[in-house]
Each structure stands twice: as structure tokens, then as C-alpha cells.
Structure 1
């Protein structure tokens, strides 16, 4: 592909999508601005114009990921079980984003857009815990437990750890619903 064959209206979005796809299939270490430029058919300087460097690209991808996650969680309307499933659904639908969003070592720590997007998605995730009968002093520990539960499950699924496992299954959303139901059965009052 040559530079003149590039006809996209939004190069920034195209580069983010290409990076997410490459990360999902090859891992974050495979990403380079030069290779993304070649893939998009633009000059090697074009990605640097939008992101500065690889860290800027990954930070922009994480911001986009946290915004997508917030939208996905918001669609669950604060229902504990549905918020948990929405988190796992997001990780499955956006694996390239998911793989960089929580890797602070890869991201710009001083990016205000990243902080804001992270805060929005965190608030949506916490909304699922608010419906549980947990005393205010127990809310932080319950929120951490819920996040650990869904993030751990999503990571195990993403990394293939559940393949061939007696604990796994073919439908991760169904498995997630059963997992959350089992935790609810234990009872939030015991957390």
C-alpha cells in the first residue's frame, strides 16, 4: 500500500484500530509506529504527528478502551450480575484495548484524559456493587473484590487459561453469570 492509496477520513482512528488489532493477535511488543504507518499506507512520520511515540499511542488506545468500557458497563444499568458480564464482554470484544489499559508501565502517567476515562469506567463498575446490601464501610473492599473477580476472569479467558479446564466452558458470558451467581449465593454480607 502506498501513501497515495490512503483514503480514510480519520487517520488517528485508523491507527488506533490497527494497533488494537495487532495487539490482540501479536501482543503489545509487536506494535511500532513505523509498522502501523506502513499498514495504513501513510508516511512513517504520520503516527508520530498524532501520538508522539509508542507510549502516546498506547495511552490513546487505553483512553479509548476506558471510554468503551464505561459505555459497556453503563448499558448494564447498575445491576451487579450484568455489570460483571458487561466487563467480561468488553474484554472479549476489545482484547487489544484490554491488554494495554491496566499496564501503567506502558502508559503516560500524567495524561488527564486517561485519568478521566479511568475514573468514568471505575464509577460505572462500582455502580454494580451499590445494589448489594453492603454497609458503607464495606463498600471499598466489596468493590475491590468485584473488580478482582471480573478482571481475573477476563484475564484468564483472554490468556487461554480456561481452555481444556474443568472450570471452563464454551460460552464465557454464561460462565461469568454462573460465577457471579455463585458469589452472590455466598452472600455479600460475608465479604
Structure 2
């Protein structure tokens, strides 16, 4: 028949992750408490620890999932500019993941799943640089591109660009910004 875990909850891990993402989205990562998440998921207060051990383990899982999702989003973009757009859209669509991913003090930086996910995302970010005209320093170009996308996404999420962007699609605004700094490879 069904296991005890299935009896109590069909997918406790996912339910706790989703509850944590909701808390982070509305209140920030500092508001995440395993007991509260257990209550939200309708399980015993000890149940989330079975999957995540502790709060840091939970936030590590969120960061790893975020990097995996970011890598997937970036892999679908054909060039550097569109990878930047994918990065911005990822941040806007998944602000809780984005917030945790770039606060390394929240998670275990040596976690193997996290390291693998970060490597995937990094490879996808760097792959976009190959679409540029010959750059004297591809590594620096990659840092510049990432800085532009990350900075723009962060400024959007913190509402610092509400007036300058206005009603325009943030993706179109980002494309314009990227066009000022990066030219596609001739070809």
C-alpha cells in the first residue's frame, strides 16, 4: 500500500520548498523557520528536518534549484543579449530563488548539488560570450555581461527602476542597454 510519508503528505520536500519560497517572496529569507513551514505544509514540526536537516540545508536546496532553473532558462537563449534577457526574466519570475542564490551566507557553499548547479549556470552564462565579436578578454566581457544583467534585475526587483522603465517591457529595455555595450558577432 502507501508509505507513511505518502499517507501524511504526497511530496513533503516540494511542499516545504514551495512554502519557503512563498515566505521568502513576501518576507525575505530571514523569516524562514522550519516549524512554520511544517505548519504550513500540515505536517509535524520535525518532518522538514527529514529532508533538509536544518534551515541552512533548506536554503541550500533552494539555491541549488535556482541555479538549475537559471541554467535551463539561459540554455534556451541563442546569444548573449537574449541570455541577459533570460537572466532578467528568471529574476522577475523567481525572485525568492534569485534572492537566496546570491546570498552565500545563507547556504552551504560546498554542497555538491549546489556546486554542480552553479557550474551549469556559469557555463551557460559564459557560452553567451562566444556570440560577441572578438573580445580582447572574454572573461572580462563575461563579467561585464553578468554584471549588467544581474544589476538590472536587482534594480528591477528592488523597484529602483520603476520610473525609468515605466510601462515598457523590462526585456526590451534590457535589450537596448545590452545593445549599447555588446555587439553580436559578425557572421
- Superposed pair shares fold, TM > 0.5: yes
Give the corresponding residue for 2:149: 150
CA distance in 2, matches of 1:47, 1:7: 12
Encode CA deviations 1:75-103: one digit per residue, 9 max, x unaligned: 113x1111000000100111010000011
| Bigger mean CA deviation after superposition, 148-157 or 8-17 | 8-17
Encode CA deviations 1:105-155: one digit per residue, 9 max, x unaligned: 1110220111110010011011111110234x5011111011100000000
The aligned runs of 1:94-133 (5 Å cut-off) are: 94-133=94-133
CA distance in 2, matches of 1:80, 1:8: 42
Q: 2:9, 2:43 within 8 Å by CA — same for their partners in 1?
A: no
User: Any gaps of 5 or more consecutive residues in structure 1?
Assistant: 1-5
CA distance in 1, matches of 2:9, 2:133: 50
Q: 1:73, 1:124 within 8 Å by CA — same for their partners in 2?
A: yes
CA distance in 2, matches of 1:8, 1:49: 13
Q: Which structure 1 residue ranges, 4+ long, deviate > 6 Å from structure 2?
A: none
Q: TM-score, normalised by structure 1?
A: 0.88
Q: How many residues align?
A: 178
Alpha-carbon spacing, 1:145–1:17, altered in 2? closer, same or farther (3 Å): same
**Superposed displacement of residue 169, structure 1:** 2.6
Q: 1:169, 1:175 within 8 Å by CA — same for their partners in 2?
A: no
Note if 1:169 corresponds to 2:169: no
Give the corresponding residue for 1:184: 182
Alpha-carbon spacing, 1:141–1:14, altered in 2? closer, same or farther (3 Å): same
Structure 1 SS opposite 2:159: coil
Give the corresponding residue for 2:3: none
**Superposed displacement of residue 13, structure 1:** 1.1
CA distance in 1, matches of 2:150, 2:92: 11
The aligned runs of 1:52-131 (5 Å cut-off) are: 52-77=53-78, 79-131=79-131
Q: TM-score, normalised by structure 2?
A: 0.90
Give the corresponding residue for 1:35: 36
Q: 2:126, 2:142 within 8 Å by CA — same for their partners in 1?
A: yes
